[in-house]
């Protein structure tokens, strides 16, 4: 018993001494990249769908929220209650999984009234000369980089999972 008390006293003294000897911790630095999230349950995605739907502002045709992230890859939930501007991603392919709803995606062709939205993306009011493809719940779509694309919901809003996939610097 005496050895246990002495051991506990020694341990307490070491902890106390080290606490006094340490300098206060510096505030945590902001992460250099987005937080890694590698799993999302179906219940999390369902809750996120409700949150995104509720957060939509009047006239907003596209609302997004992150689902998963492992730089440089990211998967987002997209809520599309109406047709949003056409897009073209210069450095990323984009893969869609249709969670809910039906619509049409137009791919290819040329952006109309093209504007640069950031260093790697363009948008336009519509697409001239593209190919239309109907889609429904459960369908998968892939849009190669540098390809104009525009999604038009039909019969109600569409929920998609969008996965941006940057092209590797070298293919094997």
Quick one: DSSP state of residue 23? Answer: P
Question: Residue holding tokens 């599309």?
Answer: 80
Evaluate whether 114 touches 125 at the Cβ level (below 8 Å).
no
pLDDT for position 169: 75
Residue 18 counted as domain residue: no
pLDDT tens, residue by residue, 25-71: 444 454 455 578 999 999 999 999 999 999 999 999 999 999 999 98
Residue 7 counted as domain residue: no
Evaluate whether 40 touches 74 at the Cβ level (below 8 Å).
no
Residue 109 counted as domain residue: yes
Domain containing residue 70 = 45-166
pLDDT tens, residue by residue, 86-145: 999 999 999 999 999 999 999 999 999 999 999 999 999 999 999 999 999 999 999 999
DSSP per position, 29-98: PPPSSPPPB----HHHHHHHHHHHHHHPPTT---EEEEEEEETTEEEEEEEESSPPPEEEESSEEEEEEE
Residue 39 counted as domain residue: no
pLDDT tens, residue by residue, 76-97: 999 999 999 999 999 999 999 9
Residue 4 counted as domain residue: no
Torsion of CA 76, 81, 83, 84, to 10 degrees: -40
Count of domains forming the chain = 1
Residue 38 counted as domain residue: no
Residue 172 counted as domain residue: no
Residue 54 counted as domain residue: yes
pLDDT for position 121: 96
Among 170, 171, 164, which Cα is nearest to 149's? 164
pLDDT for position 21: 41
Q: Please report, for the domain that includes residue 122, its CATH number.
A: 2.60.120.10
């Amino acid at each position: 018993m005496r050895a246990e008390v002495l051991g506990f006293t020694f341990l307490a003294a070491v902890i106390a001494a080290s606490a006094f000897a340490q300098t206060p911790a510096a505030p945590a630095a902001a992460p250099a990249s987005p937080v890694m999230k590698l799993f999302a349950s179906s219940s999390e995605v369902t809750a996120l769908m409700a949150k995104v739907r509720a957060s939509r502002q009047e006239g907003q045709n596209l609302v997004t929220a992150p689902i998963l992230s492992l730089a440089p890859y990211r998967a987002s939930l997209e809520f599309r209650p109406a047709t949003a501007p056409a897009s073209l991603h210069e450095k990323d392919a984009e893969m869609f999984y249709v969670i809910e709803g039906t619509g049409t995606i137009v791919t290819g062709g040329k952006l109309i009234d093209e504007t640069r939205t950031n260093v790697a993306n363009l948008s336009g009011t519509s697409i001239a000369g593209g190919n239309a493809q109907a889609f429904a719940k459960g369908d998968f779509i892939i849009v190669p980089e540098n390809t104009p694309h525009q999604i038009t919901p039909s019969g109600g809003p569409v929920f998609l999972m969008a996965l941006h996939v940057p092209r590797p610097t070298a293919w094997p």
